[in-house]
Amino acid sequence: MNARKPDVLILGGGVIGLVCALNLLRAGRSVTVLERKTVGAGSSHGNCGTITPSHAPPLSAPGVIQLALKWMSQADAPLYVRPRLDWRLLGWLTRFAARANPTDFRNGLRAKALLLNRSRALLEQLVRDEGLACEFTTGGTMYVFRDARGLEQASRLLGPVRGEGIEIRELDGAATRQLEPALNDSIVGGHYYPNDASLRPERYVAELARVVRSLGGQILESTEVLGFEREGGRISGVLTAQGRLSAREIVMALGAWSPLMARQLGLELPIQPGKGYSITTSNPKLWPRVPMVLKERSVCVTGWNSGYRLGSTMEFSGYDETLNRVRLDALKRAAVEYLREPWGETTVEEWFGWRPMVYDDLPLIGRAPKLDNLWLATGHGMLGVTLSAVTGRLLSELLTGTDPCVDPSLVDPARFS
């Protein structure tokens, strides 16, 4: 391979790797990004593109374990764990369950809200300053309900979220439908988050790649990382199908693939692949202008001028590459329940991707334990797009030794050591 030796080698050409590359280039470092397929081919591609401080509450909320057990027998449930003998998954689920208590929930909410609010502001600035044509809009998002009891229960939990600086407007059924006429008459109410935003994720990634290249960064696609060479406590070489590369600093931004590669270096990362699905169609005639979560079904709906997407669900089935028809159909059934026109006439894509899920619901950003020149930027769960801006900024600041934009201890990989 005749690539020049960069200051920083970034493993992974998804949204996180590219934003890290952009920030490091702006900080004066030379950067090469390695991507085993094409940029954004992983979970950066088919998600719903919402920018959501509203997602500050941790997934390990009190009561979630009982709900997950109830869903175990439902293959189309919003959260599904495929029964199998997997000791790493069992350990992860045990630690996740242990955090489903009021104290850990409140601490996790505070940490996530800080990161999400900071990233929301940084992302809008990034889109504006770099001229990213990615259909970014600041119209908020909305959680909508068909069940009055569920709405009432959810409304009682809004106080702590508001306490972290996240604005929420509670709406009755009529006000919810007035804000979004694409909803049908079954809707009993909603929670509107006016500071949320959205973008088209695959266009965001393509624009990030364009800017990285324009700044002199090199992106090597179809370049799979196979292994590593070590000298003491440093990585001296990265082995790929096309040859060996080296750099002073290595950044692992491989998303759900990070734990597999990290094990080659003797690192156990607390990440499990959480499989999500989406269906992209042409726009219905009456398509939602406000991105939303169909709350009882945990399905996200986003419309752009260029297309329309139903997505979400969480499936723990390892690295299974099956496009599960049962779970895709669950997205469509949910849309029928809530929307006047559930999808467009032309199906553009049916998709799945793996999210890198950490059991405390916070990413790993910072220097890796035991290796002097390896940095981690992974474990963003369902919030890779939302947290991309703060991740790129913080990783660059830590690597270059400048003052961090947020408290790095919140996401320090060493917290699991």
Q: What is the pLDDT of residues 261-304, one digit of tens each?
A: 999 999 999 999 999 999 999 999 999 999 999 999 999 999 99
Rounded distance between C-alpha atoms, residue 410 and residue 399, angstroms:
17
Three-class SS of residue 244?
strand
Q: Which amino acid is at 54?
A: S
C-beta of residue 50 within 8 angstroms of C-beta of residue 196: yes
Strand pairing category for 307-316 and 79-81: parallel
- The arithmetic mean of pLDDT across residues 69-79, rounded, is 80
Q: In what order do the strands lie in the sheet with 364-367?
A: 218-220, 31-34, 8-11, 249-252, 374-378, 364-367
Rounded distance between C-alpha atoms, residue 389 and residue 394, angstroms:
9
pLDDT for 2: 46
Task: Give the whole-number percent of the chain exceeding pLDDT 70.
Answer: 99
State the average pLDDT for the chain: 96
- Look at 46 and 62; give whichever has higher pLDDT: 46
Q: What is the pLDDT of residues 351-406, one digit of tens each?
A: 999 999 999 999 999 999 999 999 999 999 999 999 999 999 999 999 999 999 99
pLDDT for 105: 96
pTM of the model: 0.97
Q: Which of 122, 135, 138 minimizes the C-alpha distance to 26?
A: 122
C-beta of residue 344 within 8 angstroms of C-beta of residue 323: no
pLDDT at 104 over 70: yes
Q: Which of 196, 208, 214 minimizes the C-alpha distance to 389?
A: 208
Q: Which of 273, 275, 280, 279 minimizes the C-alpha distance to 328?
A: 279
